[in-house]
Amino acid sequence: MEFRSAISKGDGVLMVVALVGCIHALFLSPMNCYGSHGEAISTTDRMYLESLSLQGTLTFDNTTASATDWGQLRSQLPPSGVMHPTSVDDIATVVAAVARSESELTVAARGLGSSIWGQSQAHNGIVIEMTSLKGIKVAPLGDAASNGVPFVEAMGGEMWVDVLTTSLEYGLAPRSWTDYLYLTVGGTLSNAGVSGQSFRHGPEVSNVLQLEVVTGTGEVVVCSATKSSELFFAVLGGLGQFGIIAKARIVLEVAPQRVRWIRAIYTDFATFKADQELLIGAAQPFDYVEGFVVLNNENAINGWGSVPFVRSDINAAMIPGHAGAIMYCLEVTKAYSAAALPTLDQVCITSSQASVPTPSWARIEWSGTAMMIVFCLRCDCDSGFLKDEVTGMATSDACQ
């Protein structure tokens, strides 16, 4: 399936795209225009683009750094030009120029290039490197439009990890994230932004108050659920086909100080699924519930070697003999304040209202407490936090 950029020709932005194949939505970046078979930029277009008055930079030399993405399935497709904007107007100016260009010039907004199929690339077109445009501002008391609900306003190229750490300075945090936070705001909001909080708060796209969007004709539009709502809802999860997310207002909540953090491995899918449903449906549910597949091998990426905490290594002897090639892992947290550390028993009983009906042979469990920030950064393998901050690690049978 190909997503030709609807904005490359300036013929309006509302192109309907099928959502089939968006299962990797977490990783995609804004403004897709892969599939460009465009020819090298014409002299006229290049001269026109070079004549633009910009605050940031637009270069046509050595564009290889913007020629690839994380997936590397469509690698080394260099754009003609790369812009590093320092204002929203820069983005609007270049998109408007591309829209007016005489050739089949395409444009793609690139965050950190975490797309898997070239969505942030524009072969022979213009790549806008969104990360050069900085800005994160917290409104701890919200405003009239948000009815006092606190929010953070972040530029599209800012990373979620920076949004989180800035919000935490006010004791606040976004209530819905992705697992991996080294992704840009504009990138995940162009997709969905799914994690273990989605069952309570919806994905990231359901927690946005307002967007500032650059449309395919280079217009800057501020939109929300009540203002230019068609554009607002098209851009959120719109796979970059309806405009570039230049700025977003994201709902915040009071940040928990610490979390009780549990991971449990299951050998049997039915039990795993039943427990997951139980935890999600509980009257006082956990704050975070996520499940994933684990291979029955030591692989540090996708095997049980990837599951345990530091200081409580899993070993082959702990895996029941009847386990098949595929196992399942539940990851759950319960937030609490430092003053009221619940025991694991309390967490389990309040959350699931009953003892979890799991045969003890079905799972191996780790639990511990961690600073919330540690939990948030758990997908960052280089984070020193994990080694220093996770406490109370032990194999536990408290829930059985």
Ligand X SMILES: *[C@@H]1O[C@H](CO)[C@@H](O)[C@H](O)[C@H]1NC(C)=O
Contact residues: ligand X, CB under 6 A: 62, 64-65
Buried b (16+ CB within 10 A) or exposed e, 160-185: bbbbbbbbbebebbbbbbbebbebbb
- Closest separation in Å from C-beta 241 to ligand X: 28
> Which is closer to ligand X, CB of 47 or CB of 65?
65
> Which is closer to ligand X, CB of 78 or CB of 368?
78
CA angle 315, 380, 340 (to 5 degrees): 80
- Closest separation in Å from C-beta 395 to ligand X: 46
> Which is closer to ligand X, CB of 35 or CB of 118?
118
- Closest separation in Å from C-beta 67 to ligand X: 9
How many whole angstroms separate alpha carbon 287 and alpha carbon 167? 19
- Closest separation in Å from C-beta 63 to ligand X: 8
> Which is closer to ligand X, CB of 93 or CB of 131?
131
Q: In what order do the strands lie in the sheet with 363-371?
A: 288-295, 326-336, 258-266, 363-371, 391-395
Label residue 353 left, alpha or beta by phi (over 0 means left) and psi (-120 to 50 means alpha).
Answer: left
* Cα first-last separation, the chain: 47
> Which is closer to ligand X, CB of 40 or CB of 65?
65
Identify the residue whose tokens are 């829930």.
399
> Which is closer to ligand X, CB of 66 or CB of 115?
66
CB 181 within 8 A of CB 159: yes
> Which is closer to ligand X, CB of 129 or CB of 153?
129
Long-range (24+ apart) CB contacts under 8 A made by 312-315 are 312/366, 312/393, 312/394, 312/395, 314/265, 314/364
Which pair of structure tokens corresponds to residue 354?
């009953």
- Closest separation in Å from C-beta 64 to ligand X: 5
Buried b (16+ CB within 10 A) or exposed e, 354-373: eebebeeebbbbbbbbbbbb
Strand-pairing partners, residue 328, are 266, 293
- Closest separation in Å from C-beta 94 to ligand X: 20
- Closest separation in Å from C-beta 13 to ligand X: 31
Closest CA relative to residue 260, chosen from 380, 174, 168, 349: 349
Phi, psi of 77 (to 5 degrees): -120, 80
- Closest separation in Å from C-beta 231 to ligand X: 35
> Which is closer to ligand X, CB of 68 or CB of 197?
68
Closest CA relative to residue 275, chosen from 214, 362, 203: 362
> Which is closer to ligand X, CB of 130 or CB of 248?
130
> Which is closer to ligand X, CB of 62 or CB of 75?
62
- Closest separation in Å from C-beta 65 to ligand X: 4
- Closest separation in Å from C-beta 320 to ligand X: 49
How many whole angstroms separate alpha carbon 36 and alpha carbon 144? 44
How many whole angstroms separate alpha carbon 179 and alpha carbon 94? 33
Instruction: Read off the DSSP letter of residue 255.
Output: P
CB 165 within 8 A of CB 371: no
What is the largest distance, in Å, between two alpha-carbon atoms of the chain?
72
